[in-house]
Every structure is written in structure tokens, then in C-alpha cells.
């Protein structure tokens, strides 16, 4: 019994230390970075739209067919510098069914193209939602780590840390970005 309890405590402690280490390199006072808007060829737009029409591509966002058409027309496409040698595009839902009422939280997809065929690197199905908080200096399998934010209130933002596993991005940790009355912000890692 003692051995099992000790093992559980060690695992919990190592998980907390891993979460703290993950968030140590994230600047809580991020500066807004501007990224270049991307214009795709008609063939690439058509293939991207076909990909996003597939069942499950919106994750938990609930869009009926007419709303999906509005979402596809309103996609915001930007070049995201996450990999040397790969042109990676961040597609963000515009107004409508896959964007929250405040306008900040929304569905997002990360992709690159092989010819006219989109290769999905992250999607709402893997909790890739919210808004881009930062592209981190740290890399995994040649792709920079990404932090997404999800506004909860004026003083509370949920953060999710994503790493690339060689095929796609996956959430590796969660934290809260908290602001006090003096404008000080801190990141508080969450343990499972």
C-alpha cells in the first residue's frame, strides 16, 4: 500500500514539474505578432474547402450546411513560421458558427500543401481552437511549438501548449493566464 501511494505521489510530482517546465519558456506578456496573409490558388481553395467539409473537421463546433458555406467564404489564411522549408498556413474561422460570440475564440486549422492537396497538421478535432497566443522557439520534429489561448473573461485566459509529433500537433499541457488589478499577468500551469 505504501509503495503504491509513494509511486502515485512521485508521478504527480513529476507531472507538475513537467508542466512547469513546459510553460517556463512562454512569455505571459506576449506581443502581438503580425503574420502575412496568404492567397491560395483556386485549386488549393477548392481542396481546402473539400477537406473542411469532411465529417468531424469542425470538431465540436456545430455548423449546418448553410453556415458551413459562410465559414468557408470567411476563412482567414495566414502564413505561420513554424517550420523551415515547409510553408505552413493557419486557417481561422471568420464570423459565424465556428467563432464565439465575442469574436476571439474560434475553430482553427494548421496545414501545409503537397501540390494542391492540403495536409492537415492540426484541427478543432484535436482541440486546436481559440486564438493564436504564440509560436514558441522550442521545436519538435522540425516544427515550432504553438500556444493557443481561449478567452474566459477579461482577467482569465486558458492556454493550451501544442507540440508536433512528426505527423500532427497535439496538446501537451494546459495553463491559466491570470491578470490582476494592476495589470500583472502570470501563467499558472494546470496538473491533471
pLDDT category of residue 133 using cuts at 50, 70 and 90: very high
Most confident of 4-8, 32-36, 107-111: 107-111
Residue 78 lies in a domain: yes
The CA distance from 48 to 181, in Å, is 44
CA-nearest of 112, 121, 46 to 79 is: 112
Confidence at residue 10, expressed as pLDDT on a 0 to 100 scale: 35
CA-nearest of 107, 131, 122, 104 to 167 is: 122
What is the per-residue pLDDT across 24-66, written as a single tens digit (0 to 9) for each?
889 887 666 788 999 999 999 999 999 988 888 888 777 887 7
Residue 147 lies in a domain: yes
Residue 113 lies in a domain: yes
Residue 48 lies in a domain: yes
Residue 13 lies in a domain: no
Residue 183 lies in a domain: yes
pLDDT category of residue 8 using cuts at 50, 70 and 90: very low
pLDDT category of residue 19 using cuts at 50, 70 and 90: low
Q: Specify the number of domains making up the chain.
A: 1
Domain that holds residue 52: 32-189
Q: 3-state DSSP call for residue 157?
A: strand
Mean pLDDT over the full length of the chain: 84
Q: What is the 3-state secondary structure (H, E, C) of 107-144?
A: EEEEEEEECCEEEEEECHHHCCEEEEEEEEEEEECCEE
| 81, 129 contact by CB (below 8 A) | no
Residue 102 lies in a domain: yes
Model confidence, pTM: 0.85
Spell out the alpha helix ranges (H) of the chain.
Answer: 2-23, 42-53, 65-73
Q: How far apart are the first and last CA of the chain?
A: 22
Amino acid at each position: 500500500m505504501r509503495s503504491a501511494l509513494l509511486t502515485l505521489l512521485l508521478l504527480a510530482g513529476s507531472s507538475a514539474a513537467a508542466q512547469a517546465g513546459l510553460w517556463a519558456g512562454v512569455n505571459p506578456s506576449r506581443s502581438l505578432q503580425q503574420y502575412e496573409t496568404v492567397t491560395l490558388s483556386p485549386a488549393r481553395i477548392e481542396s481546402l474547402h473539400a477537406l473542411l467539409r469532411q465529417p468531424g473537421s469542425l470538431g465540436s463546433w456545430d455548423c449546418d450546411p448553410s453556415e458551413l458555406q459562410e465559414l468557408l467564404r470567411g476563412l482567414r489564411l495566414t502564413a505561420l513560421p513554424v517550420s523551415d522549408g515547409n510553408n505552413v498556413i493557419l486557417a481561422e474561422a471568420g464570423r459565424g458558427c465556428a467563432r464565439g460570440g465575442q469574436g476571439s475564440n474560434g475553430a482553427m486549422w494548421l496545414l501545409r500543401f503537397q501540390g494542391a492537396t492540403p495536409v492537415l497538421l492540426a484541427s478543432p478535432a484535436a482541440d486546436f481552437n481559440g486564438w493564436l497566443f504564440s509560436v514558441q522557439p522550442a521545436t519538435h520534429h522540425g516544427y515550432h511549438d504553438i500556444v493557443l489561448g481561449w478567452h474566459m473573461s477579461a482577467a482569465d485566459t486558458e492556454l493550451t501548449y501544442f507540440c508536433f509529433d512528426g505527423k500532427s500537433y497535439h496538446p501537451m499541457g494546459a495553463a491559466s493566464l491570470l491578470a490582476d488589478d494592476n495589470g500583472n499577468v502570470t501563467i499558472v500551469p494546470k496538473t491533471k
